[in-house]
Amino acid sequence: MAVTCVVGANWGDEGKGKMVDYLAEKSDVVIRFQGGSNAGHTVINQYGKFALHLLPSGVFYPDVVNILGPGVALDMGELIRELDDLKKRGVPEPKVMVSERTQVMLPWHKLFDTYEEERLGARQFGSTRSGIAPFYSDKYAKVGVQAGELFDKEALRDRLGPIVEAKNVLLEHLYHKPTMNLDEVVDRLYEDGMKIRHLIADTSSFLHDAVKKGKNILLEGQLGALRDPDHGIYPFSTSSSTLAGFATVGAGLPPWAITEVIAVVKAYSSAVGAGPFVTELQGEAAHELRERGGDAGEYGAKTGRPRRVGWFDAVATRYGCRMQGATTIALTLLDVLGYLDKIPVCTAYEIDGKQTTEFPLTGTLDRAKPVLEELPGWKQAISHIRTFDQLPKQAKDYVAFVEEQAGVRVGWISVGPRREQTIMRNR
Ligand code: GDP
């Protein structure tokens, strides 16, 4: 049995979707354990290019069971749309299960996300406005609804009555927007619930059996360590834990089950939304890296917004790998750096005149300046290469540099966005 967690070591967009799609071939189950439709995992395979927002990246293998765990923020409309899209594009019908304990996005979550950003104006967080922060706030304030609760209309009405009443006060008096009608809210949730009722199940007992039978299970994280609400760049973080340590909770597995934590590390840095970003580039250098990055430039898979880009940040990556408890690194997007004569990398921060290699609190991070070194570039395309030995020496040295800085072995190197553009390193 192997229970492998694939998580981001940086700010998200490290290429987790690509790695999960690649690793899912040898898996029986793939589980999303946190987050919602606020980010996109890009997968490019024989069926085309997909940006999966909610579905686990194992959906392209008809034998893999794909689970949305209780830790996920379930946008039912988005789930239905994504499943339809796969069907329209010729992907065989995937096996999908939704935990009966997964909470559903309620109609006001997206509204509040949008209205709050409007209210904050220049101080907004750059939210994708998918309702994530209001969703998790409500979940932990115990005014959420679990998927398995959608089918008793009377009970649903009873529970939602006082909640809608309170939300309407905010809508009317804080945001000055139209209020909601309880009956309409109940009808809509019930109808959406009926459309996915066949997917809802007791996934915890399914997983318990899967572990007992020694199945191969992949846990797919969303965003990255630096967006974790406790250990990331709070408050420019997300609202659910992005760490492997949370994966068993968000999935419904015993903590001892995880056998490997693969931290996906990007060969350079990128971030979407507001918050400190020490190695961020501006001007022409940023433009060039952004246009050459990703599979078609560094633009958000969810929003199409240009991503902020910068050089590899060893301080942030070492911290990200540590917080993830990484046992192996998958180093992605290495091919992108092939245009540079010399590759700048950040090995320390200078804060108030002192150098440090520790990742500080957000307020201090704002004052950090990158201490840069340069590594020799390889100045050639490497996307066709499939073995480590065939990589140019400078690219191998870059991998060794990442390993040394992070203190974790690089087990996979991704040299392009397609499934097959992956190098597995022998142990
Ligand atoms: P995720 O959310 O971590 O799955 O990452 P995203 O899908 O948001 O962003 C990663 C971007 O990089 C996507 O455009 C991928 O197609 C692309 N990508 C992934 N791995 C590689 C790689 O090794 N090389 C290149 N050039 N692009 C990659």
Residue 236 maps to which CATH number? 3.40.440.10
Residue 143 maps to which CATH number? 1.10.300.10
User: pLDDT tens-digit profile of 48-106?
Assistant: 999 999 999 999 999 999 999 999 999 999 999 999 999 999 999 999 999 999 999 99
Whole-angstrom distance, CA of residue 22 vs CA of residue 418 = 9
Centre of ligand 1 to C-alpha 218, Å, is 19
Burial class (CB in 10 A: 0-12, 13-18, 19+), 9: buried
Last residue of a domain, one of 164, 195, 226: 195
H or E segment and range at residue 337 = none
Q: Which residue of 11, 13, 55 sits with most ligand 1 atoms within 8 Å of its CB, as the best mutation to test the pocket?
A: 13
Q: Do residue 64 and residue 187 come from a single domain? A: no
Residue 389 maps to which CATH number? 3.90.170.10
Query: What is the CA 286 to chain-centroid distance, rounded?
Result: 23
Q: Do residue 87 and residue 231 come from a single domain? A: yes
Task: Answer yes or no: is the C-beta of 42 below 6 A from any ligand 1 atom.
Answer: yes
With 70 as the cut, is the pLDDT of residue 327 above it? yes
Burial 364-398 (b: 16+ CB within 10 A, else e): ebeebebbeeebebbeeebeebeebeebbebbeeb
Closest CA to 414 of 405, 424, 406: 424
| Strand 369-376 relative to strand 342-351, pairing | antiparallel
Q: Do residue 274 and residue 353 come from a single domain? A: yes
Structure tokens at 321: 């790998």
Cis amide linkage into residue 235, ω under 30° from 0: yes
Q: Do residue 212 and residue 130 come from a single domain? A: no
Q: Do residue 170 and residue 234 come from a single domain? A: no
| Strand 354-356 relative to strand 342-351, pairing | antiparallel
- Residue 329 sits in which domain range? 265-424
User: pLDDT tens-digit profile of 210-266?
Assistant: 999 999 999 999 999 999 999 999 999 999 999 999 999 999 999 999 999 999 999
Q: Do residue 84 and residue 136 come from a single domain? A: no
Q: Do residue 149 and residue 214 come from a single domain? A: no
Task: Answer yes or no: is the C-beta of 17 below 6 A from any ligand 1 atom.
Answer: yes
Last residue of a domain, one of 208, 235, 261: 261
Last residue of a domain, one of 175, 195, 215: 195
Whole-angstrom distance, CA of residue 319 vs CA of residue 232 = 10
User: pLDDT tens-digit profile of 128-164?
Assistant: 888 999 999 999 999 999 999 999 999 999 999 999 9
Burial class (CB in 10 A: 0-12, 13-18, 19+), 284: exposed
Per-residue confidence (pLDDT) for residue 304, from 0 to 100: 82
Q: Do residue 183 and residue 283 come from a single domain? A: no
User: pLDDT tens-digit profile of 252-310?
Assistant: 999 999 999 999 999 999 999 889 999 999 999 999 999 999 888 999 877 788 999 99
Q: Do residue 93 and residue 209 come from a single domain? A: yes
> Which residues lie closer than 8 Å to 332 by C-beta, 6 or more apart?
14, 15, 18, 19, 264, 265, 266, 267, 413, 414
Q: Do residue 330 and residue 379 come from a single domain? A: yes
- The structural domain count of the chain equals 3
Q: Do residue 412 and residue 307 come from a single domain? A: yes
Task: Answer yes or no: is the C-beta of 221 below 6 A from any ligand 1 atom.
Answer: no
pTM: 0.95
Q: Which residue of 7, 59, 130, 295 sits with most ligand 1 atoms within 8 Å of its CB, as the best mutation to test the pocket?
A: 295
Centre of ligand 1 to C-alpha 333, Å, is 7
Active-site entry in 28, 41, 109, 192: 41
Residue in the block written with tokens 């996915």: 196
Q: Do residue 15 and residue 39 come from a single domain? A: yes
> Which residues lie closer than 8 Å to 292 by C-beta, 6 or more apart?
336, 339
DSSP character at residue 380: S
Task: Answer yes or no: is the C-beta of 57 below 6 A from any ligand 1 atom.
Answer: no
